[in-house]
Structure 1
Amino acid sequence: MKQGTTLFLKIAVILIGIPVLALCIFLVPKIGNFAGELYPDIACMKSLVLIDMYAAAIPFYCALYQAFKLLSYIDKNQAFSELSVRGLKNIKYCAITISALYLLGMPLYYLMAERVDPPSIMPIGLIIIFASMVIAVFATVLQKMLKEAIDIKSENDLTV
């Protein structure tokens, strides 16, 4: 693969991370404060929402880092290696972790959506869960295909 294509993808990975960082800095605290204002009788509501959203950002950035490393392996002609398989496996686990964290936070988002008209918080959470699971399944399929390709390559190398 040409260097320009991977460079474009590396830039895309960075550009994906910047808006999420901006959301974590500017929007997540406002959502936490909003949750605290909706339920002043539940003292830890703000903290729980903040913990859930910031905790989900950690595996997101880990997955972006793994994607960046995969692109570096492609640049070094190491795409068909165990390092790539391990990177895809890490991306899969990060996506599953994001889904699990948002799934655990859904009761909090349900409580917030009960008091907001229209309840736009619930569909956003469900979209994040669904998208993360699609990424996990896709990474699993790629991981298995890459593992099979590595096995075939190693068999061919042994026969020659």
Structure 2
Amino acid sequence: MKRGTTLFLKMAVIVIGIPILALCIFLVPKFGDFAGGLYPEITYMKSLVLIDMYAAAVPFYIALYQAFKLLSNIDKNQAFSELSVMGLKKIKYCAITISGLYLLGMPLYYLMARRVDPPFITVTGWVIIFASIVIAVFAAVLQRLLQEAIQIKSENDLTI
């Protein structure tokens, strides 16, 4: 693969990470304050929302780092290697973790949506959960295809 294509994809990975970082810095604290304001009688509401959202950001950035490493492997002509398989496996687990964390946080988002008109919060949560599951399935399929390609390659190397 041409280096320009992977360079473009590496830049896309960085560009994807910047807005999420901005959301974590500027919007998530306001969202936590908003949740705490909706339910002042539940003193830990703000903390739970912040913990859930920041905890989901950690596997997101781990997955972005693994995608960056995967693109670096492609640049080094090591796309068909166990390192790439492990990277896809980590991306899959990160996506599952993100969807699990948001699924655990859905009761909080449901409580918030009950007091907000229109209830966009639960829809956004379900979109994040669904998108993470799609990414996990896609990474699992790519991981399996890559493992089969590595196996075929090693069998061909042995027969020649």
Flag whether TM exceeds 0.5 (same fold). yes
What count of residue pairs does the alignment treat as equivalent? 160
Structure 1 residue runs of 5 or longer lacking an equivalent are none
Which residue number in structure 1 is paired with residue 3 of structure 2?
3
Paired AA for residue 89 in structure 1: K
Distance 1:125 1:132 in 2: 11
Shift of 1:71: 0.2
Give secondary structure in 1 for the equivalent of 2:24: helix
Shift of 1:148: 0.1
Distance 2:118 2:156 in 1: 59
Shift of 1:92: 0.1
Asked if residue 144 in structure 1 is aligned to residue 144 in structure 2, the reply is yes
Distance 1:32 1:151 in 2: 49
Asked if residue 135 in structure 1 is aligned to residue 135 in structure 2, the reply is yes
Which residue number in structure 2 is paired with residue 15 of structure 1?
15
Distance 2:78 2:151 in 1: 15
State the Cα RMSD in Å.
0.2
Shift of 1:89: 0.1
Matched ranges for 1:10-49 at <5 A: 10-49=10-49
Which residue number in structure 2 is paired with residue 63 of structure 1?
63
Cα offsets for 1:67-107 (capped at 9, x unmatched): 00000000000000000000000000000000000000000
Give secondary structure in 1 for the equivalent of 2:42: coil
- Normalising by structure 1, what TM-score? 1.00
Cα offsets for 1:99-141 (capped at 9, x unmatched): 0000000000000000000001000000000000000000000
Distance 2:33 2:43 in 1: 12
Shift of 1:54: 0.2
Distance 2:125 2:30 in 1: 16
Paired AA for residue 3 in structure 1: R
Paired AA for residue 29 in structure 2: P
Give structure 1 regions of 4+ aligned residues with deviation exceeding 2 angstroms: none
Distance 1:64 1:4 in 2: 19
Which residue number in structure 2 is paired with residue 72 of structure 1?
72
